[in-house]
Structure 1
Amino acid sequence: MIKFFCFFLLLVSSLQIANAQRQKYNFNSNWKVLTGDDSTAINNNYNDASWKNVTLPYAWNEDDAFKKDIVDLRTGIAWYRKHFKLPAAAKAQKIFIEFEGIRQAGEFYVNGKYIGLHENGVMAFGFDITDVVNFGNSDNVIAVRIDNSWDYREKATNSKFQWEDKNFNANYGGISKNVFLHITPKVYQTLPLYAGLQTTGVYIYADNYSIKEKLATIHAESEVKNESGQPQQVVYRVAVRDNSGKLVKTFTRDKINLAPGETKIITASSLVNDLNFWSWGYGYLYNVQTSLLVNNKPVDIVNTTTGFRKTEFKDGMIYLNDRVMMVHG
């Protein structure tokens, strides 16, 4: 299965990276887990053949479910490892790994090198692993040491998390949510992973609503980085499509200059007519495509699925699209 995944990653990426478009891969398969602590597990040549094979999300103590009270679930240290390969064509790209969440503190290593610490059992986070991965036929190993102890204390402050209480939630430890691998060009829109990457990604919103006339101003906002090593002149293009794929509106922000290494927030907005507003029982969604163009060619495209609705709180009542919502407590 590992060989198949690596071949698939190599084949698909080689074709699509040639067009300098970002790719997002499900990174949940072919992990290994060891319950216990072994510091040598960070090394690539470590023999993990006897470890348990799992597919994420996977809590290492999940077998305790329905056998013990939630306050009695096992806690402690568990290690997770995954072997993977990256196509040679990705060497000119950026490589990020995204974790939707762990429980609760993790130390992360790629190819034996420490890449970071995350101490939060709730939020998503990510790491830039561009400079520590191998390409082509060389193997890569990511190793994660996770501690879900009830008495875990944040390293910087030596304080416990307020929500870390046996009366609050079940302590299912490990990599308990999805993991993704992102390959992007070096002029790119960042990922919305402030934890770890300190980046804000793409933000789509609307204002200036006229519900009766079915119109609103749609805003697109992307945090953009230039890690190409060269000055870049970028055009920012936004395309709004309805839920059938029909193009509703296109608008642009022309020629933004990005110095080497520069990070900049780029925005564009336009009044859009004939909108279907998201409402209770009518969850209408649009696809908003934000693109970076260099020399009139798209180098990075991000698709965001979202809906638009007007909300207000006035006179002690909640309004959705100018209609009062009945709320029962």
Structure 2
Amino acid sequence: MKKILVLIILVLLGACVGSNKSSAQQNPRERVSIDFDWKFSLGDIENASQEQFNDADWRHLDVPHDWSIEGEYNENNPAGIAGAYLPTGIGWYRKNIEIENLEKDDKYFVEFDGVYMNSDVYINGNHLGKRPYGYISFSYDLTPYLKEGTNKLAVRVDNSKSPSGRWYTGSGIYRHVWLTKTSTIYIPQWGTAITTSNISDSSADIKINGDIKNDAKKDQVVDVISIIYDATNIAIDSTKSTVQINKDGSFEQSITVNNPKLWSPDSPNMYNLKTKLLVNGILIDTYTTPFGIRSIELNIDKGFLLNGEPIKFKGLSNHHDAGPVGAAVPDDLLYSRLKLLKDMGCNALRTTHNPFSPEFYALCDTLGIMVMDEAFDGWFTKKAEYDYGIYFKEWWKRDLKDFVKRDRNHPSVVMWSVGNEVRGFKAEDQKEIVSYLKTIDSSRPVTQGRGHFAPYVDITGFNGHGEQKGVLEKFHKENPDKLIIGTEMTHTLQTRGVYRTKTWYRTKDNPAPWEKPADFKRFESKVYKIPDLTEKEVFPGITKKYQSSYDNSIVRIGVRDDWNRVEALDYYVGNFRWTGFDYLGESFGWPARTANFGIIDLAGFPKDHYYLYQSLWSDKPMVHMLPHWTHPGYEGVEIPVVVYTNCESAELFLNGKSLGEKNITSERQIVWQVPYKSGELKVVAKNNSKPVVEQIYNSAEIGTKVQLKADKVTVKPNKTDVIQIEVAIVDSKNVIVPEGDNFVEFEISGPAKLLGVENGDILDLAPHKVMSRKAFKGKCLLLIQSTDEGGEIEVKASSQGLQESVLSVLSK
């Protein structure tokens, strides 16, 4: 896994870093990370932009960094419900940039992948610019203000006016920062556009459009050589052209690739384009662009076609945060989260509701995950008190252009979204924004979340409204030439390890019949009802702030009914469930940190719905049953045992005795009513009456120890590798105690640092950057990160009355 991740990042960089003259001659462009060794101070500090400012007493840290997640949950924090009650504010960052030899033909740029929000950047006291949008990537030319030796880079980040979003945003330089060096003739950032056409088994046409910048102050004749490399780094074809440029220039080239390996979720084949610029035979720049070869077509009879074949979107909507690390998500952790979704059968993600980090798209390219790339939440009318709507009129064209140019070469990006549930817009607004986007890239369809009432998108996006009975069918009848995609469907809620046997509907969609009879009648006709699993609630007394992990806590339609719709309607090309992971913010109120829509909790632990989706979306044989089988005091009580499987049938056994075999049907689940008796509950899934896969639950006894499981046994001393440690409360036979809620304390020794702790409990307001956590439903998570030193990392976990556990990981 680590080798794959490192390769992805190196490809993303698109350049080799040269430290001596010979390597510079091979590639004059250098791009290096400047994530490490920053100084930080929270608060607005006078003169902090100045070169000679004394920052000796500032905190030393690395970026990506999110100061909000380091704070404490407080009901009075101005971010409120939207920001998960975490602090915001103003912060300053400063860093030394060392330039050893500053040549007259050198150009230096600083590139920020994302700063939230209202960033002002300075070099040696000179103001380089401001970017209000906290999710956009941007760069500045440092060259006019540089000197040999030490240069002072300073960044002011202003997220003081809250809430600035409708969800948790984070605060600070929460993505990577890069220093790029070029000559005075160079391809600018995101300066190439690659499109593919006329694709067949035997060949594919590759069209290359590129920009060239000339800061040499005289006309130049430039030879442009473009070489395509396959995934094994073998050159397969090339082309050459010559252009004459003044200040700016451009080039167009074409290459035909024979026997192309197409990109798809099942076969995410990638290529690299290396574009070299030469003047008088001397190499002056090399720019690398990863890309894939694939075709997209919208066909009203067949749906969304990828490489000529219909494909349904098995998609998830996600926000950008990741539980205990907030918005500052390490690449290693991002990879494991995306891999978890891919293993579930997910083939598509929607970036809700803003651009994500560059690493996200590179990982989706190589993992084989299609992306609906969303630019904005709203437009000219703000949706949160201090959100981007304040700046939209002035900034949207620049931000949209940068967003599209940055992401347009990723084969994973198969669709643009220009907004989500946009308030107060006219059709002319949508027309202007979509038309402008297509001047930059017209190779993909455009949609909009809940944009079905305006005509200028290519594919119609439905959010929650589309979950009601008959809505999609009615729209299709009235608009037979438009395909439909569920930009935000379906909504269900679950709390890991919590079960109720009576069906629950979100209150505003389920008025009581005695309160509003007319509304109740409307509800009855439009909401997909799910039968109760039992007449009387089996698990009473659970706070209503938690939701059931059976598929029976819904807004308007459950997972199974909605996927049946996807498969039945050709014009409904799939959906993006709300959401993949639980995200911070946008809760139902204090003290909840989130609203539990995710199929994976804040700690990264799958809920039961993860396995329901796996049974619907994955071809690899699987079986999963729920609930757990530890219910002391319920002896003899019938408990609904639900099984999800993608096999033909399943047989259930209790303590070795068969309780019967049942076939999977359009209900998408199998249910047994089982009188509780402690012991072993086993399910065996079958195809053609032959066992294929099984799962076993054993009843837990009293918890006796803390168990630690790490996701890796070795890491690199690179200050970036992350170790995810699952902490469980187990009995003497190592069976997890499902209701274990013990308080666990940690000790870390050796070359590693704490990243965060989390348990997935939406009501637990304990801080994340501490060496302890209470378990929730038997588990919690400890995240640690390697330093720049090698050696043995030892983690000890202890809890009063339990046997402690020690785990070792080697950094080498």
Q: What 5-or-longer segments of structure 1 have no aligned partner?
A: 1-9, 153-163, 193-200
Question: Could you tell me which residue of structure 1 aligns to residue 217 of structure 2?
Answer: 229
User: Which deviations, in whole Å up to 9, do the C-alpha atoms of 1:81-101 show, x marking residues without a partner?
Assistant: 001211214442111000001
CA distance in 2 between counterparts of 1:231 and 1:51 reads: 47
Question: Could you tell me which residue of structure 2 aligns to residue 31 of structure 1?
Answer: 38
SS at structure 2 position matched to 1:62: helix
- Range moving further from structure 2, 282-291 or 70-79: 70-79
User: Which deviations, in whole Å up to 9, do the C-alpha atoms of 1:272-296 show, x marking residues without a partner?
Assistant: 2111000121100011111111122
User: Which deviations, in whole Å up to 9, do the C-alpha atoms of 1:43-74 show, x marking residues without a partner?
Assistant: 22211111111110001222137787743211
SS at structure 1 position matched to 2:51: coil
CA distance in 2 between counterparts of 1:60 and 1:45 reads: 25
CA distance in 2 between counterparts of 1:62 and 1:90 reads: 42
Are the counterparts in 1 of residues 73 and 86 from structure 2 also a CA contact under 8 Å? no
Question: Could you tell me which residue of structure 2 aligns to residue 143 of structure 1?
Answer: 154
Q: Indicate which of 179, 188, 193 corresponds to 1:190.
A: 188
CA distance in 2 between counterparts of 1:67 and 1:306 reads: 45
Give the AA of the match of 1:183: K
Q: Return the offset for 1:258.
A: 1.4
Q: Return the offset for 1:187.
A: 0.7
Q: Return the offset for 1:230.
A: 2.5
Give the AA of the match of 1:322: G
CA gap 1:236/1:45 in 2 versus in 1, 3 angstroms: same
Q: Return the offset for 1:114.
A: 1.1
CA gap 1:171/1:184 in 2 versus in 1, 3 angstroms: same
CA gap 1:71/1:149 in 2 versus in 1, 3 angstroms: farther
SS at structure 2 position matched to 1:59: coil
CA gap 1:326/1:53 in 2 versus in 1, 3 angstroms: same
Give the AA of the match of 1:123: I
CA distance in 2 between counterparts of 1:12 and 1:297 reads: 19
CA distance in 1 between counterparts of 2:128 and 2:36 reads: 21
Identity %: 26
Question: Could you tell me which residue of structure 1 aligns to residue 51 of structure 2?
Answer: 44
Q: Return the offset for 1:17.
A: 3.8
CA gap 1:18/1:251 in 2 versus in 1, 3 angstroms: closer
1:106 aligns with 2:119: yes
CA distance in 2 between counterparts of 1:74 and 1:124 reads: 24
Q: What 5-or-longer segments of structure 2 have no aligned partner?
A: 1-16, 76-80, 314-573, 576-812
CA distance in 2 between counterparts of 1:292 and 1:14 reads: 18
Q: Indicate which of 87, 93, 97 corresponds to 2:100.
A: 87
Question: Could you tell me which residue of structure 2 aligns to residue 198 of structure 1?
Answer: none
Q: Point out the structure with the larger strand share.
A: 1
Q: Return the offset for 1:229.
A: 2.1
1:324 aligns with 2:331: no
Are the counterparts in 1 of residues 226 and 274 from structure 2 also a CA contact under 8 Å? yes
Q: Indicate which of 187, 191, 216 corresponds to 2:204.
A: 216
Q: Return the offset for 1:39.
A: 2.1
Q: Indicate which of 240, 243, 257 corresponds to 1:252.
A: 240
Are the counterparts in 1 of residues 102 and 147 from structure 2 also a CA contact under 8 Å? no
CA gap 1:97/1:292 in 2 versus in 1, 3 angstroms: same
Are the counterparts in 2 of residues 107 and 117 from structure 1 also a CA contact under 8 Å? yes
How large is the RMSD of aligned CA atoms in angstroms? Answer: 2.1
CA gap 1:20/1:324 in 2 versus in 1, 3 angstroms: closer
Give the AA of the match of 1:218: I
Q: Indicate which of 45, 48, 57 corresponds to 2:64.
A: 57
CA gap 1:14/1:60 in 2 versus in 1, 3 angstroms: farther
Question: Could you tell me which residue of structure 2 aligns to residue 171 of structure 1?
Answer: 169
SS at structure 2 position matched to 1:72: coil
Question: Could you tell me which residue of structure 2 aligns to residue 96 of structure 1?
Answer: 109
Question: Could you tell me which residue of structure 1 aligns to residue 260 of structure 2?
Answer: 275
SS at structure 2 position matched to 1:71: coil
Give the AA of the match of 2:199: Y
Number of residue equivalences? 292
Are the counterparts in 1 of residues 96 and 153 from structure 2 also a CA contact under 8 Å? yes
CA distance in 2 between counterparts of 1:132 and 1:17 reads: 23
Are the counterparts in 1 of residues 18 and 24 from structure 2 also a CA contact under 8 Å? no
Question: Could you tell me which residue of structure 2 aligns to residue 120 of structure 1?
Answer: 133
Question: Could you tell me which residue of structure 2 aligns to residue 161 of structure 1?
Answer: none
CA distance in 1 between counterparts of 2:218 and 2:143 reads: 18
Q: Indicate which of 178, 181, 190 corresponds to 2:179.
A: 181
CA distance in 2 between counterparts of 1:207 and 1:65 reads: 53
Report the TM-score when normalising by structure 1.
0.83
SS at structure 2 position matched to 1:40: coil
CA distance in 1 between counterparts of 2:270 and 2:111 reads: 25
Give the AA of the match of 1:256: V
Larger radius of gyration: 2
Give the AA of the match of 2:129: G
Question: Could you tell me which residue of structure 1 aligns to residue 231 of structure 2?
Answer: 243
User: Which deviations, in whole Å up to 9, do the C-alpha atoms of 1:263-321 show, x marking residues without a partner?
Assistant: 11211112221110001211000111111111223211111111110111112411111
Question: Could you tell me which residue of structure 2 aligns to residue 204 of structure 1?
Answer: 194
Report the TM-score when normalising by structure 2.
0.35
CA gap 1:285/1:19 in 2 versus in 1, 3 angstroms: closer
CA distance in 1 between counterparts of 2:299 and 2:238 reads: 34
CA distance in 2 between counterparts of 1:101 and 1:39 reads: 24
CA distance in 1 between counterparts of 2:188 and 2:95 reads: 25
SS at structure 2 position matched to 1:12: coil
Q: Point out the structure with the larger helix share.
A: 2
Are the counterparts in 2 of residues 17 and 90 from structure 1 also a CA contact under 8 Å? no
Q: Return the offset for 1:251.
A: 0.8
Segments of 4+ in structure 1 off by > 4 A? 65-69
